[in-house]
Amino acid sequence: MNDTAMDVAPAPADTWPDELFELLRTHKVRQVAYVPDAGHSRLIRRCQADPAIRAVSLTTEEEGIALMLGAWLGGERSVLLMQSSGVGNCVNMLSLGILHRTPMPMLVTMRGDFGEFNPAQMPMGQATQAVLEAMGTLVCRADHAADIAPTADATLRMAFNTFRPTATLIGQRVLGAKTFGKE
């Protein structure tokens, strides 16, 4: 058995990052905070290339919560892109969205989910939805590429209409997983 990681191909419908980008524009999102993540890489590049969107690279995910609060106070809409492992970094800061009635939509790529090879990703991956919900975040999940854009649209609408944190979890089944196996 060879212990090198092999990539398992993501779902064939890979237009969802472009669909998410169009949704951000439709919902008039002007700031996108992110910690670099392979699952969001195409969406991040699209945001960086658009002069109407300010793409802000973060050193840690909880900075994105502060950015969303500041953007809202300044009259702009924002979104936080992160991986599920970063949700644990945001727990304390998520209370700000409830306390200050601030829309805080998050698009979260999952790890520790379908076919995960890295045991360190499992605890937070398995707890992501429960942790977000415990902090008052409305959570929707998309496990198929065709469901990502409509789910994210619902998440954005809920955030901006109810003034609270929301999240779309993009399942690892869509993103593809790495496994240890034979070559």
For range 19-30, the mean pLDDT:
98
pTM for this predicted structure: 0.89
**Which two tokens mark 68?**
């969303």
Element (H, E) at 55: strand 54-57
Say which residues have a Cβ less than 8 Å from residue 98's Cβ, sequence separation at least 6. 135, 136, 164, 165
Q: How far apart are CA 183 and CA 49, in angstroms?
A: 38
9 band by pLDDT with thresholds 50, 70 and 90:
very low
28-83 pLDDT, tens per residue? Answer: 999 999 999 989 999 999 999 999 999 999 999 999 999 999 999 999 999 999 99
Q: Give the start-to-end residue ranges of the domains of the chain.
A: 16-173
Residue from 176, 180, 153, 179 nearest 38 by CA:
176
On whether the 16-173 domain is CATH 3.40.50.970, my answer is: yes
Amino acid 2: pLDDT? 36
With contact defined as beta carbons under 8 Å apart, do 152 and 142 qualify? yes
130-143 pLDDT, tens per residue? Answer: 999 999 999 999 99
